Amino acid sequence: MTSKKDSPIQRIEPPFWYAGMCNKELQILFYGENIAKNFVETTEQGIIIKVTKTDNANFIFVTINVNWEIEKEILFIFKRNNKILFSQKYSIKQRRKNSADRKGFDSSDVVYLIMPDRFANGNGLNDNDKTVTEKYNRELPGGRHGGDINGITQHLDYIQSLGVTALWNTPVCEDNEAEFSYHTYAQSDVYKVDPRFGTNEDYVRLSEGLHQRGMKLIHDYVTNHWGLQHWMVKDPPTKDWINTFETYVQTNHKRTTVIDVNASKIDRQQCIEGWFVPSMPDLNITNPLVLKYLTQNAIWWIEYANLDGLRIDTFNYAEPLQMVKWTKAIMTEYPNFNMVGEITQRNHGILSYWQKDSKTGEIYNFNSNLPSLMDFSLCDALQLAFNDDDGMWDKGMTRIYDSLTFDFLYPNVHNLLIFAENHDSKRLNHCYELDLQKYKLAMVVLATVRGIPQLYYGSEVGMAGDQYFMGDADIRQDFPGGWVGDASNAFYAEGRTEDQKAYFEFTSQLFQWRKTKAAIHFGKTTHYIPEDNIYVYFRYNNEDSIMVIINNKTEMGTVRTIRFKENIEKFTTGLSVFTNEEIELINDISIEGKSFLILELR
């Protein structure tokens, strides 16, 4: 930076940008005391498209034309009364080669979800930081426990050994709330990694480490809200930057009001504009400056950290028509990218509305441009089905069968994120009271039905937890071995208890097997109505066919293979994935209670 005197600029966002982007208009935020009283120009004629000054004199938004393909440094000059007061350099950097063509995660991947504060403490020196309020306190269940990005990077061998190919961390940007800041969904600076997690450079190194292994990084992004301590919440650029009411109004959480033709305007408004919780102010993305800010911020992280995907938190809480613009802008820059939205709906008709090119959305002349959704219906089924021993009309394996019967509603069922648990639900092992066999059955379904499987850290070594009676901290416990002095270290075979070994070895074998199975990744599905609580389905393409049998009874069961003739066809035997046993398909198949068979047909 060059200046005639000290510059009053305190922040510039984005801090830099990239050449060769599809959208040539860049909105740069300059922040500093009374900066809007100045006139701004550049040394290059015609580069400034417009200068926007708001009702807050501490902000100037300068929109420039970035219509070039190479690195460049721009000099902004700030004047008053035709005198130069100071100047500011701004860098336009070169993009990575083929950045626009990056390929996002898909159904050939297995995603591993981590809460960074609870996984591993790789750098004890950043447990506390003077720039943020909440300090390290591992004794407090909902406190800061010290997990960080280095802790994740140091255990990539472990993550990869599970058969995982993509990593999703809950948000890594700074959250400066005085308590419960560990989850980082109440962000206070969306261009900066939380210092208790590390630095922006640490995050880039994590991305590089994953890519060196052929793995992918998914960034958790929040468009709906920030935290109370965000610097722009404390000093808003405009009066309507945040959705506000005369008194505090919380969202009614009735996301159905967004598409309900009978919904009242006030109910819809409260759903979209009400705050998620008192510590999370709701962003007004109908303000073009806000929408542009969030769009550029997401693109900046994709470029800067070389991301392979986004997971968008509370996607359908924000104004839908503005979110359409946000998703479209990102997918225009990266046509092969992937983004999965959190749409917490169990009703398939409502959920399918939010996927790109949805026929349900067409009814409303709506297209979200959102490629992927989280399949909450299947999650519910996986948390309940294996406790139903009798398999009545709508229980047991029929829960899973019924969920999949709605696949016709989705434009792309392969691009649904499927999961049995996450950081907002009961732990699967709690649902099944640490019954390893039931855990196995749930994982087999997760590994073999359509979609992109997501695992939740620690369940693969038997971690459990109950959100509803014990609170969020119980489902977000520290991974055993992530801290010096832990009773066991489940990151390494020699450090695992016998129970941890049993969970880990099964999970690893199953998802390592899945890695190379194209019929599972993108193949078709034929499933058969469960009989006697036994569910049979096939995943197949032109080259391969895989038969999955799940006996959810406690007793031995028999499968009559003649019933599946349309899928068995010319095949005579099936190779059992876990035992390498050849099973004749011309005979009925006997299967133990609460067990499964995955057969590669031959």
Which of 313, 333, 375, 460 is an active site residue? Answer: 313
Q: How confident is the model at residue 439 (pLDDT cuts 50, 70, 90)?
A: very high
Q: Is 540 helix (H, G, I), strand (E, B) or coil?
A: strand
Pair 77, 116 in one domain: no
Q: How confident is the model at residue 543 (pLDDT cuts 50, 70, 90)?
A: very high
Pair 392, 536 in one domain: no
For the segment 10-21, the average pLDDT, to the nearest whole number, is: 98
DSSP 220: E
Cα–Cα distance measured from residue 550 to residue 547, given in angstroms and rounded to the nearest whole number: 10
Contact between 317 and 271 under an 8 Å Cβ cutoff? The reply is yes
Domain boundary among 486, 502, 519: 519
DSSP 239: T
Residue 268, in any domain of the structure: no
Q: How confident is the model at residue 3 (pLDDT cuts 50, 70, 90)?
A: very low
What does 454-492 look like in DSSP terms, one character per residue? EEETTGGGT----HHHH-GGGGSPPPTTSSTT-S--TTS
For the segment 1-16, the average pLDDT, to the nearest whole number, is: 79
407 is an active site residue: no
Q: Which of 42-51, 168-177, 186-195, 440-449 has the lowest mean pLDDT?
A: 42-51
pLDDT at 5: 57
| Segments forming the whole domain that contains residue 416 | 108-235+286-519
Three-state SS annotation for 182-216? HHCCCCCEEEEECCCCCCHHHHHHHHHHHHHCCCE
What does 524-535 look like in DSSP terms, one character per residue? EEEEEEEETTEE
pLDDT at 35: 97
pLDDT at 535: 98
Which of 134, 174, 202, 342 is an active site residue? Answer: 342
The CATH number of the domain holding residue 41 is: 2.60.40.10
Residue 103, in any domain of the structure: no
Pair 454, 582 in one domain: no
Contact between 151 and 118 under an 8 Å Cβ cutoff? The reply is no
390 is an active site residue: no
pLDDT in tens, 565-581: 999 999 999 999 999 99
Pair 155, 293 in one domain: yes
The CATH number of the domain holding residue 572 is: 2.60.40.1180
Q: Is 506 helix (H, G, I), strand (E, B) or coil?
A: helix
The CATH number of the domain holding residue 401 is: 3.20.20.80
Nearest to 523 by CA among 440, 599, 413, 420: 413
pLDDT in tens, 157-178: 999 999 999 999 999 999 999 9
Report the Cα 223 to chain-centroid distance in Å.
13
Pair 367, 484 in one domain: yes
Pair 504, 386 in one domain: yes
Contact between 313 and 343 under an 8 Å Cβ cutoff? The reply is no
Model confidence at 189: pLDDT above 60? yes
Pair 148, 69 in one domain: no
Pair 316, 423 in one domain: yes
Q: Give, in order, the Cα–Cα distances in Å from 26 to each of 48, 92, 176, 550.
A: 10, 10, 28, 54
Pair 514, 529 in one domain: no
pTM metric for this prediction: 0.97
Domain boundary among 79, 98, 117: 98
DSSP 350: H
Q: How confident is the model at residue 2 (pLDDT cuts 50, 70, 90)?
A: very low
Q: Enumerate residues 6+ apart whose C-beta is below 8 A from 235.
A: 56, 58
**For 8, what's the count of Cα atoms within 13 Å in the CB-facing half-sphere?**
16
Cα–Cα distance measured from residue 265 to residue 42, given in angstroms and rounded to the nearest whole number: 46
More confident call, 425 vs 246: 425
Nearest to 96 by CA among 356, 391, 307: 307
pLDDT in tens, 287-300: 999 999 999 999 99
pLDDT at 6: 73
For the segment 508-517, the average pLDDT, to the nearest whole number, is: 98
Pair 461, 563 in one domain: no
- Positions of E strands within 54-154: 59-65, 72-80, 83-93, 111-114
What does 371-398 look like in DSSP terms, one character per residue? -EEE-HHHHHHHHHGGG-SS--TTSTHH
pLDDT at 222: 98
More confident call, 485 vs 6: 485
pLDDT at 367: 97
pLDDT at 115: 98
Pair 378, 426 in one domain: yes
pLDDT in tens, 18-60: 999 999 999 999 999 999 999 999 998 899 999 999 999 999 9
Cα–Cα distance measured from residue 149 to residue 206, given in angstroms and rounded to the nearest whole number: 7
Residue 123, in any domain of the structure: yes
Nearest to 304 by CA among 12, 23, 17: 17
Model confidence at 213: pLDDT above 80? yes
Contact between 411 and 459 under an 8 Å Cβ cutoff? The reply is no
Tokens 């959480």 -> residue = 253
Q: Give, in order, the Cα–Cα distances in Å from 401 to each of 343, 377, 378, 530.
A: 21, 11, 9, 7
For the chain, what percentages of helix, strand and coil (3-state, to nearest 5) are there? 30, 25, 45
Q: Looking at this protein, which amino acid is placed at residue 107?
A: S
Pair 382, 484 in one domain: yes
The neighbouring-strand residues paired with 84 are 79
Q: How confident is the model at residue 103 (pLDDT cuts 50, 70, 90)?
A: very high
Cα–Cα distance measured from residue 91 to residue 111, given in angstroms and rounded to the nearest whole number: 35
pLDDT in tens, 372-410: 999 999 999 999 999 999 888 899 999 999 999 999 999
Q: Compute the mean pLDDT over every residue in the chain, rounded to the nearest whole number.
A: 96
Q: 246 burial class (0-12, 13-18, 19+ CB within 10 angstroms)?
A: exposed
Model confidence at 4: pLDDT above 70? no
Number of structural domains found in the chain? 3
Tokens read off for 92: 């336009």
pLDDT in tens, 269-285: 999 999 999 999 999 99
pLDDT at 391: 82
